Amino acid sequence: MKANQISTGKFVNDKEVIAVELSNTKGTYVKIFNYGTIINKFVVKNAKGEDQDIVLGFDDFDGYISKEYLSNYPYFGSIVGRYANRIKGGEFTIEGTSYQLPKNNGDDCLHGGLQGFDQKVWDIVELTESPNASVTFHYYSFDGEEGFPGDLAVQLQFTLTENDELILTYQADTDEATPINLTHHSYFNLAANSNDIRSHVHQMNASNWLEQDDNYVVTGKLIPVDGTHHDFRKGKTFAEGWDEENGYDQTYVLDKTYGELTLASKTSAVDSGLTLSIYTTEPVAHLYTAKYTDVKNGKDGKSYGKFSAFCVETQHAPNSLNIPAFPSTILQPGEVYHQTTIYKVSK
């Protein structure tokens, strides 16, 4: 097991951007930038014994901060916070006090605001090689950042095991009641030679999905998947019965006991023989098949377009702040926020 850190020679807001490389004895290799904790590479051996990178991104760091990329920003491989997905009207109330966040997606707040955790340089606080290669990042979000109350200290650890598991462990604490709903936004493509994920076979243990308004904001209504193209419980290709124009951009309520670490989804590609299983302690998973992705000059000069990847964003339900019936996403002083998500690759 190895863990190394390498300077990119780049600085953002006077803080150095560092690349951390984690590897195991099987040849699996993960590269993570401390900027946005971006998973830049996730290289595994496919069924043919070939090295295959299963995440979208860029060959070097400059791609992630280019004007062209940020103009149609897809959050490639980054953490999302303080609050994943959309908050209706960018508004919420805690203990009688109302807060207004930036409206950076129509009339709503998306993924933490104008500059969320995805565009911050995190501190590297620990690097270890035994028993597994791991890195721990830390970010301190000050009271009022993007309109959120309270000073919030966040820690995110990535651990690569010998079983080809990349374990993401999140922790946070605050000095004032504040919303928190973190996720990671990696774009996966398991195919060996295709920029399209239509033929990927996807299984998700969810009997309901969450209704959304015209701007994809969760309303609070649960809709059964029975008899619809949203039913992935037995597994099927993404393209089987889907809306060819829109693909998937919905939140699914996982069939699980709240807080337990269980299987959320399993996705496979025939040509590579690779399967990605995602485990989480979180109650929902947002499935997105990259409808709005339009990125030029990605890895090896590739262009990434519509349906070039899929995301499974494990989290609490979007807009929970405004839906009292949903599990609370308010962190109180003295409490510790904790969640775990695991990306396990197998053949």
Give the residue numbers marked as catalytic: 185, 313
**Hey, is 334 helix, strand or coil?**
coil
**Hey, is 42 helix, strand or coil?**
strand
The answer to whether the bond into 82 is cis (omega within 30° of 0) is yes
The DSSP 8-state label assigned to residue 26 in this structure reads: T
Can you read off the two tokens belonging to residue 83? 């609050």
Cβ contact 338:269 at 8 Å: no
Please report where in the chains the tokens 């060959």 appear, as a residue.
59
Q: How far apart are alpha carbons 257 and 299 in whole angstroms?
A: 39
Q: Which amino acid is at 34?
A: N
Can you read off the two tokens belonging to residue 26? 């099987």
The pair phi, psi for residue 218, each rounded to 5°, is: -65, 135
Q: How far apart are alpha carbons 276 and 37 in whole angstroms?
A: 20
Q: How far apart are alpha carbons 1 and 5 in whole angstroms?
A: 14
- Total number of residues shown for the chain: 347
